[in-house]
Every structure is written in structure tokens, then in C-alpha cells.
A and B are shown apart, each in its own frame.
Chain A
């Protein structure tokens, strides 16, 4: 058995490549989160609606994207979608479409679930003191529902950041892609992939700590209220 000599020094010389990769990862993640917030609210509202014309397509969309692997979605948007629309598409946009739509589907369910989890008594009480729908939502339902949505959304956000690594397979410059390129040119896969894994952990773990903290805080608030 050969004993490998770790040489992180060589790898750290290429810190620019890792920085460029991290930037790409953050860029993808930031756009996806924005899309998930806006799109999730819209699709969630449609799913929540009693109008079948809104409800059915939203349900189909959510089930379609939750019940297929996100990697298949990315590959489909990269290789199949351009043929259908008859236009070339850069991997960056295919990755955004795949991961973004997936994230929108999950967020929509989180937002809808949050609102539906509010007990009937709250709705009835608000109505009985004469609140209109908008006032009831703003003052009674949403403040409670949002607390329940936030931890679940934070968890989903972690999954989205992890999924951005899949964009490396379609030549999008993000952390794993830059690592791969570097590994192929300086032949130090052990050090490079170790550094890449650490960087992912450092980028994602703060989100995890935030979600643990939110979960604990919101749980305490709920108990106090009871």
C-alpha cells in the first residue's frame, strides 16, 4: 500500500479557482431562492385555491417536480428542452430551470401547508369579530403560519444549495466544476476534492445552524403562547 503525501500547498496556490467556483455556487443559489420565494407563493396560492382551473395545474406541477429526481430535471432541460424550443441554451439556464422549478414546487407545498395548518378556530374568531379576508390574513393567519413555514423553508434551502453541485455536470462554473477542472489539470484529486467538500460544508453549515436556531426559537414561542 502506498502512503500518500498530502500536499495542500499546491492546491492553495489555486485559491482563485475555488473562489470563482464558490461565487458561481452562490449566484445559482441566490437566484433559486428568489425564484422559490416568488414562484412558491404563486404556485402555493394556486394550489390552495378552490378554483379547479388554478388548483389542478398547480397540483400537477408540484407532484411532477417532487416525484422526479432533480438531476433528471436538469438533464432534461439541458438536452431535451432546447430541441423542443429549437434554441440553444447555456447550462447555467438549464440548471436554473431544473433546480429552480424543483425548489418552487417544494416551497409551494411548504407555504400552503403552513396556512392550512392554522386551526379553524383562528379563522372563525377573526371572521366573527368582523375582519375582512385581507385583514384576517395579515393580522391573524400569516403571522402564525410564517413561523411554521420558516424552518421547513430553511431546510429546503439547504437542499437547493446542495443540488447546485449537479450543475457541474452540464459545464456550469460552480464549486464542484472548478474543482473537477483543477483536478484534471494538476492531478491532485485527493487534496482538491477534500478542499471542495470542506468549502461546501462551510457554505452550508451556517444555514443548518440558522435552521436549528429558528426551530428552537419558534418552538419556544409556540409553547409560551399555549
Chain B
């Protein structure tokens, strides 16, 4: 069978898709901001010398990294409200799930960055009589942050891809909007192909940006 492509539909209803695109950006950006905070918090807990802090943080990080985002999303949307007796809407559930899961990955990025700094740097700082905050601010963090940037961007890239899963709880992001539109117009081929291309353009630009930053950081080091 020869299929006749007709992209006219997509252009005619493009505002539905733009609305979805905005929805994607909204949860993506919010989750990036909250996720970074969650990550910072979890990383500090995990690096703590107190086991009462580091053990739960390690457990939580591993659990969040090693289970699918979608079960976390479902748990927060369908199960958590029963526990706390408070209904969450799809938007809130999506932002919480994405923030919490990316937070766990960010925590490992932050911890990995700090722990990758050579021992001699710590010892040198201490030998000069620096206090821990001084040592962190002047010696460790400036070096560690450079190493964190590429994996942090890599994880943010994955986060943007993960926003599509909010469609499963009927949050109106790009994929959800396109599914609604394609079932209304019976043109899944054109609409879904267009949406896939939109993601492709968006994410290719993002990955080019990541590569550019990586090159710059490498050039700055040598």
C-alpha cells in the first residue's frame, strides 16, 4: 500500500503542538532547577561522615537511579496522594518525579566531581592552614565544577527526554498533545513524524552545545 503523506494538517493545528512544546519546556526547566537542589542536598548527605546521613542518602540515590522513571511517576501520581491525603495534579507529579530522579543522578555527578580531585590538592590546602570552607571554595570546587559540567549537561539532556513520560499521566506536554491531535485527526503518521523531528532538532542542538562546551573545557585544561 502506498501511503499519501499530507503535512498540511500539522501546520493547520500547529498551535496545539506549540502549547505542548511550552508544557515540555515548563516541566523540563522546573525539574532542572529543583533537581539540581535535590542533587546538591543528596550529594552533601552522601558525602557526610555521619552514617545516619550517608546511608539513607546512598540507598535513596541507588533506588532512584535503578528504577524506571515511569514507576516513580506512577507512584507519585497514584500512590503518594493516598499516603499524604492530598491530591496532586499531573503537572505537580511530573515535576516532582523528574526532579527527584534527576536529583539522584545529579547527586552522583556532584559527588564524582568533588571526589575526583587529587588528594594532594586537599593536603596542599590543609598544609597552608586553610579551613574546610576556604579549601572548598578556593581549591576544590573551582576544579571540581569544571569536571562536573559535561556529565551535568549529559544528565540534563536525559531529563529533557524523560519529560515525554509525563504524557502517561495526561500532562499536556509535546508528546501528549501530539497523541491527542493525531487521534482527533486520524493522521498519526504526519503528526508523530513531525513531533519526532521537532525533538530531533531540539536535542541535536543541545548535544552540539554539550560537545562544544566539552571541547572548550578540554582546550582550557591543556
Contacts and interface: CB of A to CB of B under 8 A. Distances in A.
Interface of A: 1-2, 4, 63-64, 66-73, 75-76, 79-80, 83-86, 158, 162-166, 168-169, 176, 179-180, 183, 189-190, 192-194, 196-197, 200-201, 204-205, 208
A83 B168 contact: no
Given A68-B200, A76-B192, A189-B82, A162 B67 contact: yes
Contact of A197 (B75, B192, B196, B200): B75
B189 A67 contact: no
Nearest to B179: A75
A197 B71 contact: yes
Contact of A76 (B69, B86, B196, B203): B196
B141 interface: no
B61 to A, nearest CB: 11
A1, A166, A183, A193: residue with the most chain B Cβ atoms closer than 10 Å: A193
B67 A200 contact: yes
Contacts of A79: 179, 182, 188, 192
B74 interface: yes
B165 A200 contact: no
B74 A193 contact: yes
A164, A180, A189: residue with the most chain B Cβ atoms closer than 10 Å: A189
B75 A194 contact: yes
B175 interface: yes
Nearest to A189: B78
Interface of B: 1, 3, 62-63, 65-72, 74-75, 78-79, 82-86, 160-165, 167-168, 175, 179, 182, 188-189, 192-193, 195-196, 199-200, 203-204, 207
Contact of B167 (A71, A84, A179): A71
Contact of B164 (A72, A165, A176): A72
A106 B162 CA distance: 17
Contacts of A67: 199-200, 203-204, 207
B66, B78, B85, B165: residue with the most chain A Cβ atoms closer than 10 Å: B66
A93 to B, nearest CB: 16
A28 to B, nearest CB: 12
Given A80-B188, A189-B78, A193-B74, A63 B164 contact: no
B188 A200 contact: no
A80 B178 CA distance: 12
B71 A72 contact: no
B3 A158 contact: no
B68 A176 contact: yes
Contacts of A197: 67, 71-72, 75
A4, A72, A183: residue with the most chain B Cβ atoms closer than 10 Å: A72
Contacts of A158: 66
Given A67-B199, A75-B175, A193 B182 contact: no
Contact of A69 (B65, B182, B199): B199
Contact of B192 (A75, A165, A201): A75
A183 B78 contact: yes
A194 B72 CA distance: 9
Given A4-B82, A76-B192, A205 B164 contact: no
Contact of B79 (A64, A166, A194, A204): A194
B196 A68 contact: yes
A80 B192 contact: yes
A207 to B, nearest CB: 8
B67 A166 contact: no
B168 A169 contact: yes
9 contacts: A1-B84, A63-B204, A64-B200, A71-B161, A71-B165, A179-B71, A190-B82, A193-B75, A196-B74
